Structure 1
């Protein structure tokens, strides 16, 4: 017998669903994934595929044998967690470390809190930051581009972010002179003298294509990514104007995991604020924290930590920044 559900107006009908949006994010990640295969070859394929496979397996196993529920792998969330975790790792990372990161991302970052929709922190970043703290040497060895047939034996070098950090610490402006120009950073061609960073951060252009697709499909709104990038640009411009030891704002935006985090992880539905005003506050805070950690923290990169910190503030933002109730002035 069919049940008639009666509720008060207004009623909204749409084609949105968890599966549709998750699959849309996967499609948006494809340009960055293909760019990683182009620049890193075998290493990227091993890291990303093992990360996705491990995340899918751990979610299935935990859901079925620990939570005793029907597995929901078809929603695509485990695949996205695996892709984002893989894209946040160096292409020369041993597979056993990738598997450990996937276990932490799914087991602790997601399923401990009840699964999709319940996790307070982005699962992929939980896994990445766990690995960064546990295996700092392996997680900060950055392969040079063009070693398409190498994985564990890839040659490594320091990233542009490292030289930016060293310029601030030593006061030597000359360290910034060798950093690739903005157009090279946009495409992803950092040159043979630098490590290229994580698998997914190498090509800003590929990430921007993913952003354009998600905005076109209305999977996300512009508020979070634009507020993050605008804040980083303004803050970095002020620092560069105050002293030449700080890199110019275009180089700051186009290096490291800033774009990857702003577009694909800070916009996570579960861990980001619900209102547009809240998203702007959230984005500005992430941008500010990223610049602070990059310039004066222990790590050259600060995007992951900034997002996780603001994930913790999301419930507070949602509490104080609420939309008007329907019918109220």
Structure 2
């Protein structure tokens, strides 16, 4: 008796690599670090994320309508949502709502859609939006709340801001009664370290002068970095990203900082400080790995990541901005096509000499 057989055409892989599923995986990986940020820096983090997402989706829909294209497919791939979340995680939790709107609209409309939408943008939209705000409003963009650590709050005679306090601060610029902006705002550990080093202080003097410092970096900031690292490892496990770029970014940053620390440990911080005091881990796993604006060849990704790590250290040490992740990523976005051009793998069956002649 004949047996009925079903023939299925290739490909046979069960893995579905759709844009919306990849973006949802990234959103899920951001959860641990986001919770840590909310724990240490308050409800303003979540308010910024909600505002940035709302404005990003509206801007994306408006541009698609102006281009005469359906808005739902563009919104439904969640790329605008991921851009908004990454952007919101890099700005201070007290950022006025209209600055958040300006930054994310610039990222979506100018950096992403002006070049043709997803897959065509040469720069990372979230980092371009952040740099736009940083250059335009440097004070507001670098003024963070002190982390919710008892020793720090007691030293500044502060208490944790409630959800309503955070909302009033963001939407109306109204501070809680009895507080001033100088009391609420605080420099980041990178900014504090850079300022005091420029004043001629040594590392030991700086670390002993304030309860801001933890084991490696700033208190609170260390835990935020650890939880973003957990999310990054999840992306590696799910194969959403490959290991080359994040390992190269962190390796390049550690190598550059370790070389100078070994020469002069009193004027160059311990390498772990650079990993756990700013956005290095967030940048390595979630920002530098953007598949559109990063390199595509394996050897190119290693060069690209190492260059980002080295550039972060150089700008932090001698440049004008303490946390240089955004600038380093954007600079390497420019170089990514050239790096790919000169790091192409050898084609199977062709000798190197034949490839050069071709």
TM-score by length of 1: 0.88
Question: What residue number does 1:165 align with?
Answer: 194
CA displacement at 1:12 relative to structure 2: 7.6
More off after superposition, 159-168 vs 28-37: 159-168
Runs (5+) with no aligned partner, structure 2: 1-8, 149-159, 170-174, 176-180, 352-358
Q: CA contact under 8 A between 1:105 and 1:124: conserved in structure 2?
A: yes
Q: Distance in 2 between matches of 1:15 and 1:102?
A: 30
Instruction: Name the residue aligned to 1:141.
Output: 143
1:109 CA drift (Å): 1.1
Count of residues paired in the alignment = 308
**Aligned counterparts of 2:117 and 2:93: Cα–Cα separation in 1:** 28
1:9-28 equivalences in 2 (<5 Å): 13=13, 14-28=15-29
The equivalent position to 1:287 in structure 2, one of 293, 305, 309, is: 309
Structure 2 distance, partners of 1:323, 1:67, is 38
- Are residues 1:32 and 2:33 paired? yes
* 1: CA distance, partners of 2:12 / 2:124: 29
**d(CA) in 1 for partners of 2:336 and 2:217?**
35
The answer to whether residue 215 in structure 2 is matched with residue 182 in structure 1 is yes
The answer to whether the Cα contact below 8 Å between 2:217 and 2:276 also exists between their aligned partners in 1 is: no
Matches within 5 A, 1:263-278: 263-278=285-300
Range that drifts further, 239-248 or 38-47 = 38-47
**Contact 2:37 2:45 (C-alpha < 8 Å) held by counterparts:** yes
8 Å CA contact 2:57–2:80 kept in 1: the answer is: yes
Matched, 1:215 2:244: no
Q: Deviations over 1:17-70 (max 9, x none)?
A: 212211111111111222222223321121111011111110111111x21111
In 2, Cα distance between equivalents of 1:34 and 1:68: 39
Given that 2:216 and 2:270 are in contact with CA atoms closer than 8 Å, whether structure 1 keeps it comes out as: no
Q: Secondary structure at the match of 2:254?
A: helix
- Any conservation in 2 of the 1:90–1:142 contact (CA below 8 Å)? yes
Give the whole-Å Cα distance in 2 for the aligned partners of 1:128 and 1:273: 21
- Residue 183 of structure 1, CA deviation: 6.5
Give 1:96's aligned residue. Answer: 98
Which stretch of the first structure deviates more once superposed, 79-88 or 163-172? 163-172
Pairing 1:228–2:228 present: no
Counterparts of 1:96 and 1:265 in 2: how far apart (Å)? 24
RMSD: 2.0
| Distance change (3 Å), C-alpha of 1:184 and 1:321 | closer
Contact in 1 for aligned 2:294/2:304 (Cα 8 Å): yes
> In 1, are the aligned partners of 2:112 and 2:118 still within 8 Å (CA)?
yes
User: How far apart in 2 are the matches of 1:319 and 1:182?
Assistant: 42
Q: Which runs of 5+ in 1 are unaligned?
A: 1-5, 191-195
Q: Secondary structure at the match of 1:32?
A: helix
Query: CA–CA distance in 2 between the matches of 1:12 and 1:298?
Result: 52
Check conservation: 2:144, 2:187, Cα contact below 8 A.
yes
Q: Is the 8 A contact 1:109 1:123 kept in 2?
A: yes
